[in-house]
Structure 1
């Protein structure tokens, strides 16, 4: 299993489509066996789903994410945990323990007038072992 996290400065980066790097974790026996930070090479939004699939990722932890990217990830068979904030390593550890605080309804829309960024994350949700 491989888990990717939108990544910047050890934290979960808050806008999937503008993510310049992912931290990708190799998981075996419900534990992290290795991890690496991989640059996206300028891919954005829906193209990032293909990028993740090419890297063998089957689960994504991120902050805000738009509808088009959600659909591309679903079509690529990548399980999504949006609305996550904080330390990337801690988020992966929480997911593996079945207690990741995430919001399945998190949406991010940066295509509105004025370019103002209102919010990329929602109220939060604690999973009950969605593994």
Structure 2
């Protein structure tokens, strides 16, 4: 099984569509036997699901994610664990132990203005994305 985590400086990056790196973990017999960081620069929202599929990813752990990306990942057959935060390696260990803290209802809406809604988490102006649950 191959698991991807949205990744920045060792942490789960909080906006899937602006993710520039993923850390990929190869798992066998419930244990990580290899990992690598790959660049997704230039892929953008729409192409990231295909990018992950090219790497054979089965599972994605991420922070905030929009509805279109959720659909694209589902269409690519990638199981999603949104709303995660903190150390990326710890998230993998927690997932493998059946203890991953995530929020299946995490969803970002990127229609900015007074009606802007990012669910239960805050939005960061730097990338107009989701800053995750705090």
TM-score (norm 1): 0.87
Partner of 1:65: 65
Whole-angstrom CA distance in 2 between matches of 1:37 and 1:122: 24
Q: Would you say 1:20 and 2:20 are equivalent positions?
A: yes
SS in 2 for 1:70: helix
More divergent stretch after superposition (85-94 vs 107-116) = 107-116
Partner of 2:127: none
Q: Would you say the 8 A contact 1:61–1:84 is kept in 2?
A: yes
Which whole-Å deviations, capped at 9, do the CAs of 1:2-48 have from their partners, x for residues lacking one?
00000000000000000000000000000000000000031111210
Whole-angstrom CA distance in 1 between matches of 2:37 and 2:86: 17
Partner of 1:85: 85
Whole-angstrom CA distance in 2 between matches of 1:49 and 1:101: 22
1:92-103 to 2 correspondences below 5 Å = 92-103=92-103
Segments of structure 1 that go 5 or more residues without pairing to the other structure are 124-131
SS in 2 for 1:50: helix
- Tell me the CA shift for residue 112 of structure 1: 1.3
Which stretches of structure 1, 4 residues or more, deviate above 4 A after TM superposition?
114-117
Partner of 1:30: 30
Which whole-Å deviations, capped at 9, do the CAs of 1:74-121 have from their partners, x for residues lacking one?
000000000001000000000000000000000112331288973434
TM-score (norm 2): 0.86
Partner of 1:126: none
- Tell me the CA shift for residue 122 of structure 1: 5.0
Q: Would you say the 8 A contact 2:27–2:34 is kept in 1?
A: yes
Whole-angstrom CA distance in 2 between matches of 1:90 and 1:30: 14
Whole-angstrom CA distance in 2 between matches of 1:28 and 1:116: 39
More divergent stretch after superposition (107-116 vs 81-90) = 107-116
Partner of 1:112: 112
Segments of structure 2 that go 5 or more residues without pairing to the other structure are 124-129
1:50-61 to 2 correspondences below 5 Å = 50-61=50-61
